């Protein structure tokens, strides 16, 4: 994969990452996933519209600093105080945009991914035995994806995606059919009609189920076409 891809803004890059493979090396081994779902987020310095759902919408902070860094690096944040999510930084240095990896299919290192996900589930189960995790669920959702890959903010935030412990490669052929629609769980206008900035491989079992964010505009889902349209009656 050419770093030049990431000099474009996140909205342009997000669909191009579908089908790409991301590997993360650790002392325990390598886990590789095929990216099946992404979301774009724009911040300071990007063209309109203003994206109120972005961490970097107004200014640079200690938390979002990596979004302003060199393209082709990682931006990792802690979601809901529980899960680490990984974003791939886009746009020239000083301009903030990134692509959130929402879901993927584990292609290598499944045993290690299962071990990590199961350990996380045990922590949240309060002594109860968690249900088994299917292959399709291992990296479904940004928190599960981050856990399966072993991502943490302390270890991976700001690192170059083109050097160890990362390895990133585009598919030999671009994904032919790409669906797009509203971002998952994004509140307010950022989850509304102006931001159909989520991209996914239609019909892939690893892709997240859609849920609207709080006070977001309503969308109607067509399960036959796996597509969304805005519902102005809601």
Phi-psi region of 136 (alpha: psi -120 to 50; beta: other; left: phi over 0): alpha
Residue 70 falls within a domain, yes or no?
A: yes
CATH label of the domain that carries residue 223: 3.10.300.10
Verdict on whether the full-model pTM lies above 0.85? yes
Domain count, the chain: 1
Mean pLDDT of 80-103: 96
* 64 within 8 A of 74, measured Cβ to Cβ: no
Domain that holds residue 194: 4-229
Could you read off the pLDDT of 63-79 as tens digits, one per residue? 999 999 999 999 999 98
Q: Is residue 118 part of a domain?
A: yes
pLDDT the model gives residue 232: 43
The verdict on residue 137 lying in a domain is yes
Residue 234, in any domain of the structure: no
pLDDT band at 211 (very low <50, low <70, confident <90, very high): confident
């Amino acid at each position: 994969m050419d770093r030049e891809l990431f000099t474009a803004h996140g909205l342009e890059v997000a669909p191009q990452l579908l089908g790409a493979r991301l590997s993360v090396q650790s002392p325990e081994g390598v886990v590789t996933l095929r990216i099946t779902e992404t979301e774009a987020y724009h911040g300071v310095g990007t063209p309109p519209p203003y994206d109120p759902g972005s961490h970097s919408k107004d200014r640079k902070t200690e938390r979002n600093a990596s979004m302003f860094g060199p393209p082709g690096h990682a931006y990792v944040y802690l979601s809901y105080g529980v899960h680490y999510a990984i974003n791939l930084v886009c746009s020239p240095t000083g301009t903030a945009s990134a692509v959130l990896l929402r879901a993927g299919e584990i292609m290598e290192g499944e045993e290690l991914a299962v071990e990590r996900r199961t350990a996380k589930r045990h922590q949240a189960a309060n002594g109860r035995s968690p249900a088994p995790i299917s292959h399709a669920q291992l990296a479904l959702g940004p928190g599960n994806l981050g856990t399966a890959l072993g991502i943490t903010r302390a270890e991976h935030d700001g690192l170059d995606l083109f050097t160890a412990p990362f390895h990133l490669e585009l598919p030999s052929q671009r994904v032919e059919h790409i669906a797009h629609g509203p971002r998952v769980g994004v509140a307010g206008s950022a989850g509304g009609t102006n931001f159909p900035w989520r991209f996914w491989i239609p019909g892939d079992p690893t892709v997240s189920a859609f849920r609207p964010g709080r006070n977001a505009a309503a969308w109607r889902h067509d399960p036959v076409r796996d597509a969304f349209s805005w519902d102005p009656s809601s």
